[in-house]
Amino acid sequence: MIDSHTSLLGLFGNPVAHSLSPVMHNQAFAAVGYNGVYLAFRITDLDSAVKSIQALNFKGVSITLPHKVAIMEYLDEVDATAATIGAVNTIVNQKGKLIGYNTDCHGALEALRTKTTIDGKSVAIIGAGGAARAIGFGLVAAGGRVTILNRSRATGERLAADLEAEFLPLSDYQPQRYEILINTTPIGMHPETNATPIPKKNLSKEMVVMDIVYNPLKTRLLKEAEVKKCRTINGVSMFVFQGAYQFELWTGKKAPIDIMQNSVLEALRTK
């Protein structure tokens, strides 16, 4: 029931029409009896959008592409993890004070921990963008031995240097070197569902293979990893865990993770 006490929360990005965050968060609010509503806003003018957070008394905001880095200069405070990563995907409005967090890192680690431990493991991260940066910092902090695999040497080497990790061109990838493989690129995302960053012959059954793409639920990479008897983690897992951390930051309540996951899976089935 929306009334004069309903808290306003939302997603700021461009584009946002494809996002499943409103479905996930609104069902979670309903499940725990939190009086809030979460809406998606297509934002092209970030300065005006930030002013609206305080003017309209938003309780919290998710930040997605292309604003995760630019948003930082508008905030009153940035959490240490987000500052280290250099990107914010979550804002909490604490009585007019805007505090930035990065829950992508937390979401990726929690997703991985459903299938494996991290400390001491050799991890290959495909890609060198914002998601790779967030996940990479989390893995290094958790004791993972990270290698960045990327087609662009300059971008990959820059991220590897920031992480104090190894860089290799994607063409030099050798499966026997790694216990965990994570795709952070959009390769395999709908509608290019026949694409994969790694051919099946370069997957090993001892691996845990994670893909942060969640549409389709099973990318070609994950399907072929299953054929090779790898343990697999789909993109919904990271998406839900990062959303659960957001939910807890905003509401102070324990996130109903099963409900959040089921809402996303149901939405994907009906797309």
| Predicted model pTM | 0.93
DSSP string, 165-176: -EEEEGGG--GG
Give the model's pLDDT for residue 131. 92
Q: Yes or no: say if 240 and 214 are a contact pair by the CB < 8 Å rule.
A: no
Secondary structure letter of residue 235 according to DSSP: H
Which residues in the chain land under pLDDT 50?
Answer: none
Count CB-CB contacts under 10 A for residue 205: 11
Question: Pick from 62, 57, 93: which is nearest to 242 by CA?
Answer: 62
Give the model's pLDDT for residue 271. 72
Percent helix, percent strand, percent coil in the chain, to nearest 5: 40, 20, 35
Rounded to whole angstroms, how far apart are CA atoms 221 and 131? 18
Q: Yes or no: say if 198 and 221 are a contact pair by the CB < 8 Å rule.
A: yes
Q: Yes or no: say if 43 and 264 are a contact pair by the CB < 8 Å rule.
A: no
Q: Please list the active-site residues.
A: 68
- Give the position of tokens 């968060």: 25
- Domains of the chain (ranges, CATH numbers): 7-101+237-270 (3.40.50.10860), 106-233 (3.40.50.720)
Tens of pLDDT, residues 33-56: 999 999 999 999 999 999 999 999
Count CB-CB contacts under 10 A for residue 2: 9
Give the model's pLDDT for residue 20. 95
